[in-house]
Structure 1
Amino acid sequence: MEPRYTSDTLDQAVEALVFASDVPLRPDDVARAYGEVTGVEVEPGEVERAVGRLNGAYRQGGRAFRIQRWAGGLRMATVEEVHPFVRALFEQDQARRLSRSLLETLAVIAYKQPVTRPEVDHVRGVNSDYALRQLLERDFVAISGRGEGVGRPLLYATTDRFLDQFGLDGLGDLPTPREIDEILADPAFNRERASLLAELATPPTTDVEADA
């Protein structure tokens, strides 16, 4: 029996769609687009197998990228070995860098969501109004509802953009407290942390902090 399509055709379609998309693509979206063009129905599992074949070819060819799972979808991303080169190219993009206070606030929300502003303030020990506004504007967090306390305060949670920007498929991929302790004990991390703190010592003029 003749196959419904050739694997080469499907692989090319998957590669082109993932490469061209600005956001992570779900396998069923890729399958639907393929069907609309070819008239051949494919299952999301077949798209996943195509991704496996493509990544195998990239690996064998020594390519600097893979198709990875981010924010519940598929996205083209560089491998870890070339991250220093990518970082060197974009490190001057100061306007988009998250400051230390924004990272602190984002970490609290990521691990305790849905969470209210007073709860974030309590963990950080400072007022987080400014940081929350910045994270909302950058679409890293969103209002997810209202709490049950007095005045029914707003609840905040992370967005798909947060998952996308940090290379996570879901919140379950966040490191556990034990893994964080192991990372903090790693000498290589301490060297990277020292370098990062040195950069943050001169904050970008476009991101003036209003909180301590």
Structure 2
Amino acid sequence: MNIKSVLESLLFAWGEPLNINEISRILNISLPSIKTHLEEMIVQCNEDANRGLIVQKFGNSFQLTTKKDNFEFIQSLLQTTVNKSLSTAAMESLSIIAYKQPVTKVEIELIRGVKCSNVIKGLIDKGLIKEVGRLDKPGRPAIYATTDEFLRHFGLNSIEELPALIIEPDEEKKAT
């Protein structure tokens, strides 16, 4: 079996990020071996300027995608605008979750100063955040964190790639 050929076929057929554990299960091959092959594929695709497809890593998932350089041509073919915009409220809430995770709805609302139940529901529906547990406090509030879809949406390999958080001096005074 040509493992890289099978991996490429799986990633192409699935279309969405495919978790490395699922790939290992399907091929009945160890995680380290699968990871090595996928990382080699990433390097090979990125080094070959003639390829239009690349393998991208999003957390523990991998996806076959098109090179960013070709976006305008794909957009022209589809004759539609890719709309990935989020409302200001959604972006504010998502930023808080990304930088403070895991975080409760109450903590998000304290920072934003407004209710955010509908925004959180929308972010969950889009797959950008998920409930990762409950606090052992009265009411057992849910705690939220970002997902692999969040990483994919923003083109990140891991949460550590988020830009450094810079707090303006005026904002720092408000926080204390």
TM exceeds 0.5? yes
Q: Which residue is equivalent to 1:80?
A: 68
Letter in 2 for 1:162: F
Is it true that 1:10 corresponds to 2:3 in the alignment? yes
Could you list the per-position Cα deviations for residues 43-83 of structure 1 after superposition, in whole angstroms to 9, with x for gaps in the alignment?
33333443315642563252122112113121112333334
Q: Which residue is equivalent to 1:97?
A: 85
CA contact (8 A) 2:103 2:145 kept: yes
The TM-score with structure 1 as length reference comes to 0.62
1:177 alignment partner, SS class: coil
Aligned residues: 166
Q: Which residue is equivalent to 2:104?
A: 116
Q: Which residue is equivalent to 2:13?
A: 20
The partner residue of 1:29 within 22, 31, 34 is 22
Q: Which residue is equivalent to 1:168?
A: 156
Summarize the alignment of residues 147-166 of structure 1 with structure 2, pairs less than 5 Å apart.
147-148=135-136, 151-166=139-154
Q: CA RMSD in A?
A: 3.2
Name whichever of 80-89 and 133-142 sits farther off: 80-89
How far apart, CA to CA, are the structure 1 residues paired with 2:30 and 2:23? 10
Could you say which structure has the higher strand fraction? 2
Shift of 1:108: 0.6
Bigger CA radius of gyration: 1
The TM-score with structure 2 as length reference comes to 0.73
Could you list the per-position Cα deviations for residues 110-138 of structure 1 after superposition, in whole angstroms to 9, with x for gaps in the alignment?
11122122221222233222211211222
User: Which runs of 5 or more structure 1 residues have no equivalent in the other structure?
Assistant: 36-41, 182-212
Q: Which residue is equivalent to 2:59?
A: 71
Q: Check 1:177–1:87 CA distance in 2 against 1; reply closer, same or farther (3 A cut).
A: farther
Identity over aligned pairs, percent: 28
